[in-house]
Amino acid sequence: MYKVTTHSAIAEIPAEQWNRLVDPDTPFLRHEFLSALERHGCVGERFGWLPHHLALRDRDGRLLAVAPCYLKFNSYGEFVFDWAWADAYQRHGRNYYPKLVVASPYTPATGPRLLTGATPERRAHAQALIQGAVRMAERMGVSSLHWLFTVADETDWLEDQGLMRRVGCQFHWQNRGYDSFESLLVAFTAAKRKKIHRERRRVAESGVHIRRLTGDAVTEAEWAIFHQLYRDTFDKRGGIPTLTLPFFLDIGETMGQHVLLVLAEHGGEIVAAAFNLIGTRSLYGRHWGCFQDFHSLHFEACYYQGLEYCIDRGLARFEPGAQGEHKVSRGFLPTPTWSAHWIADPGFRAAIAHFLDQETRGMDAYLADMHTHSPYRNR
């Protein structure tokens, strides 16, 4: 009834057919975004992300579901950390890599990974795609198959098919009908509200001017400056700046209305910037960089500008990126994230299941503790 195929380049699947299946709230899963990563060398053998995209078709060849899948030779750029698993394999004389990962590279943002479109057959198509992916993993002889940052219902479906659920934590904001940034702050305790007012005032008093631009309004020169900021951030932290300037120029042109660039200027020069992706319901904060240090500018560019944008545009959610407990006092509350994992070896599967059971209990306690630090009144 169904056939699952793999594709070594997303260009093998027509953009219109792929995007028809993508949730419009997830720009990081659009054909334009993923193909730009491939065409401009951001994924591939050099970085250990080899495309193996999954496609489910019916007997007439009609495309029913897809998933962005990669053969991985490391765990870089995933944000669901399994290095301890790889180390355990190595200590037992086994190879953890290569493995298969279903994800948007370098993008720890929640969204459907079983791309089926809004159809009544969504669950059946998703289950067929999962089963086909597991059979492919078995044929390839990889150690494991991982679905990262899945939404709640498909995490349940993956678990029903024998994959193991893993719980993580990020800090997200929910729009509760605020009509201005100040109306948001009214919901905060007096002390937290005063702190944010002080932080925003410090930025204004420093002479920093903020501009918000969609990607199609960003000039090539501004993209070049942003890319230097992006590279500097990774250099300072010892990371690998995998995203190239041509990649940013490309998505600025092909999906500009899905890109928000926050530019901070001082003395007529760009001194900092924050890069975001815009969905139909959500804003996703992704990258930040600065040439000069200004008090509270990171909070202004990465959080407060994004919150204002969401309120102005009526967006329901803001995911400002992975980790960061300091986000809680600025209105971003602890939110569970999920991933699902298939492990080929029965012995390692049992050991990892035991680890996940313990980790989940610890994560549940952490989420509950973080909620006690909420800045909101009477929540």
Do the Cβ atoms of 178 and 311 come closer than 8 Å?
yes
Task: Give φ, ψ of 138 to 5 degrees.
Answer: -65, -45
Region of residue 377 (left: phi > 0; alpha: psi -120 to 50; beta: else): beta
Strand-pair partners of 278: 283
pTM score, two decimals?
0.96
Statement: residue 379 has pLDDT above 70: no
Residues 169-181 pLDDT 10s: 999 999 999 999 9
* Confidence (pLDDT) at 1: 86
Statement: residue 191 has pLDDT above 90: yes
CA distances to 39, 265, 297, 329 from 204, rounded to whole Å, are 40, 11, 9, 21
What is the end-to-end Cα distance of the chain in Å, rounded?
50
Statement: residue 238 has pLDDT above 90: no
For 321-335, what is the mean pLDDT?
A: 95
Distance of CA 63 to the CA centre of its chain: 25
Residues 95-145 pLDDT 10s: 999 999 999 999 999 999 999 999 999 999 999 999 999 999 999 999 999
Strand-pair partners of 164: 341
Task: Using DSSP, state whether 179 is helix, strand or coil.
Answer: coil
Query: Six-digit token pair at 239?
Result: 């990371």
* Other beta carbons within 10 Å of 21: 25
Residues 268-292 pLDDT 10s: 999 999 999 999 999 999 999 999 9
Distance of CA 73 to the CA centre of its chain: 20
Mean of all residue pLDDT scores within the chain = 97
* Cα–Cα nearest to 29, from 154, 90, 114, 91: 114
For 303-307, what is the mean pLDDT?
A: 98
Residues 249-270 pLDDT 10s: 999 999 999 999 999 999 999 9
Task: Using DSSP, state whether 106 is helix, strand or coil.
Answer: coil
